[in-house]
C-alpha cells in the first residue's frame, strides 16, 4: 500500500476506534498515520481532539498547533486552538487576538466562509464573556447568528448572556427558541430553567432542570434543597467557627438570606444573577479604626443559587460555610487572591 493510502486508511481506523470508545487504539492508529505522513495535519488535529477529550490539555494544544503548522489553511485546527485557549487555558486576550487574525485572513491563513466566520465570532464572544464584557459578548454572538443563521448553540448562548445581564424576558425568548431548535441541549434547557425560575414559573423551571439533568447529570445536577431554618443554622455555625478575634469585628454585621439577588443588585452592583453571596458596606480597612459596623454593612447569602452548585447536603453545608467566610473576608478587606490563598475563593 502506498504511503498516502496508508495514511488515510489509518485515519479511518482511528476515527472508527474513537467512535467505539477505544481511546488507546485510536491514538495508536493516529501514530501509525503520522509514520506514513509525519506532516499529516488531519492526524495531528485528530490526535489533539482525542487528547483533549482525555483531559490532556497541553498535549492536545501541542498537537493542534502542529496541525496548523503542517497545513496553515486547515480551518478545523485553528478553531480547535482558539477554543482550547478559551475553555481550557484561560488565555482569553490571546484568544481574542487569534480570532481577529483568523477573521482578517492573510496569505498563510484560510479565508473563512460564512459558517467559519460565524464560528469565530462565537468563539470570540465566549472569550469576551470570560473577560466579563457581557455586552461585547452579546454583540459578537449576535454577529455569529446574523452571519451563520439560527444555530442552536449560538441562540442558547445569546439567551445565557441576556440572563446574566438580568434581561430575563429576553433571555426566555432566546432560550425557548434554542430548545425548539435543539430539544436535547442540556445547556439551553438548564439556562431556560434558571430564567423561568427568576420569572416565578417554578414548575416549568423544575421541569427544565430535570430535562437538563436527564441529558447530562454530571454537568447539570438537580438543586439540593434545605429548609430555611436549617440554612440559617449552618450560616450561624460558620460565623461561630471564626476565630474569636475576627468574631469580635463582625458580631454586629448581619448575615441575611435571600433566594436571589434582586433587580437593585443586578443593576446597581453589576453582579451575576447566579452569585452565591455578597458583602455590602465599607470594608474595615477603609473605615476608621474605631468605627463600628455601619447600618449598611451586611452579608447576603443567596439560598437558591447556593443550592444549585452542590450535589448533596454535605457539599451544600460546606459551600454555605465557605461563602459566609468569603464575604466576611471582604468585610475585613481581603481581596480575591487573599481569599484563594486561605481556601475561601
List average pLDDT for each run of 10 residues in the chain, which is 345 residues long. 82 95 95 93 96 96 96 95 97 96 84 94 98 97 97 98 96 98 98 97 96 96 93 90 78 88 80 91 60 67 95 94 86 70 55
In the chain, residues under CATH classification 1.25.40.10 are 150-222
Q: By three-state DSSP, how is residue 44 classified?
A: helix
Please write the tens of the pLDDT for every residue from 122-147: 999 999 999 999 999 999 999 999 99
Q: Which CATH superfamily is domain 150-222 in?
A: Tetratricopeptide repeat domain (1.25.40.10)
pTM: 0.88
| CA separation for the pair 70, 50 (Å, rounded) | 18
| CA separation for the pair 133, 230 (Å, rounded) | 37
Say if CB 92 and CB 86 are below 8 A apart.
yes
Task: Decide the pairing of beta strands 277-280 and 298-302.
Answer: antiparallel
The 255-258 sheet, strands edge to edge: 255-258, 298-302, 277-280
The pLDDT of residue 239 = 85
Say if CB 334 and CB 246 are below 8 A apart.
no
Closest CA to 43 of 71, 21, 2, 20: 71
Please write the tens of the pLDDT for every residue from 283-342: 666 655 445 545 578 889 999 999 999 999 999 999 999 999 888 887 777 776 765 665
In the chain, residues under CATH classification 3.30.2010.20 are 228-341
Q: By three-state DSSP, how is residue 123 classified?
A: helix
- Counting Cα atoms < 13 Å in the Cβ hemisphere of 219 gives 11
CATH class of the domain defined by 228-341 = alpha beta
Instruction: Give the alpha-carbon dihedral of 240, 241, 243, 246, to 10 degrees.
Output: -50
| CA separation for the pair 321, 341 (Å, rounded) | 16
Angle at 307 between CA 310 and CA 88, to 5 degrees: 45
The dihedral built from the CA positions of residue 177, 178, 182 and 185, taken in this order, carries a sign that is negative
Amino acid at each position: 500500500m502506498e504511503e498516502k493510502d496508508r495514511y488515510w486508511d489509518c485515519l479511518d481506523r482511528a476515527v472508527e476506534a474513537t467512535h467505539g470508545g477505544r481511546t488507546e487504539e485510536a491514538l495508536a492508529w493516529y501514530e501509525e498515520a503520522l509514520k506514513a505522513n509525519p506532516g499529516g495535519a488531519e492526524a495531528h488535529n485528530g490526535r489533539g481532539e482525542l487528547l483533549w477529550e482525555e483531559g490532556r490539555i497541553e498535549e492536545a494544544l501541542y498537537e493542534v498547533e502542529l496541525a496548523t503548522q503542517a497545513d496553515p489553511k486547515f480551518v478545523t485546527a485553528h478553531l480547535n486552538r482558539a477554543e482550547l485557549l478559551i475553555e481550557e487555558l484561560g488565555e482569553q486576550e490571546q484568544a481574542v487576538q487569534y480570532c481577529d487574525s483568523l477573521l482578517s485572513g492573510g496569505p498563510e491563513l484560510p479565508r473563512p466562509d460564512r459558517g467559519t466566520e460565524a464560528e469565530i465570532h462565537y468563539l470570540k464572544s465566549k472569550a469576551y464573556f470570560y473577560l466579563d464584557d457581557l455586552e461585547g459578548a452579546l454583540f459578537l454572538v449576535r454577529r455569529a447568528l446574523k452571519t451563520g443563521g439560527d444555530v442552536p448553540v449560538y441562540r442558547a448562548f445569546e439567551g445565557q448572556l441576556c440572563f446574566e445581564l438580568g434581561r430575563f424576558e429576553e433571555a426566555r425568548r432566546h432560550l425557548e427558541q434554542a430548545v425548539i431548535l435543539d430539544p436535547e441541549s442540556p445547556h439551553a434547557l438548564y439556562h431556560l430553567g434558571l430564567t423561568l425560575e427568576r420569572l416565578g414559573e417554578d414548575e416549568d423551571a423544575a421541569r427544565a432542570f430535570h430535562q437538563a439533568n436527564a441529558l447530562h447529570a454530571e454537568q447539570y445536577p438537580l438543586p439540593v434543597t434545605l429548609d430555611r431554618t436549617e440554612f440559617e443554622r449552618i450560616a450561624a455555625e460558620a460565623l461561630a467557627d471564626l476565630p474569636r478575634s475576627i468574631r469580635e469585628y463582625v458580631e454586629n454585621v448581619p448575615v441575611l438570606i435571600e433566594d436571589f439577588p434582586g433587580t437593585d443588585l443586578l443593576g446597581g452592583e453589576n453582579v451575576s444573577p447566579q452569585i452565591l453571596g455578597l458583602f455590602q458596606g465599607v470594608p474595615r480597612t477603609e473605615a476608621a479604626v474605631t468605627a463600628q459596623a455601619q447600618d449598611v454593612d451586611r452579608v447576603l447569602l443567596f439560598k437558591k443559587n447556593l443550592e444549585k452548585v452542590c450535589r448533596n447536603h454535605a457539599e451544600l453545608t460546606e459551600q454555605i460555610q465557605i461563602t459566609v467566610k468569603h464575604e466576611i473576608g471582604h468585610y475585613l478587606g481581603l481581596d480575591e487572591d487573599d481569599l484563594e490563598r486561605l481556601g475561601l475563593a
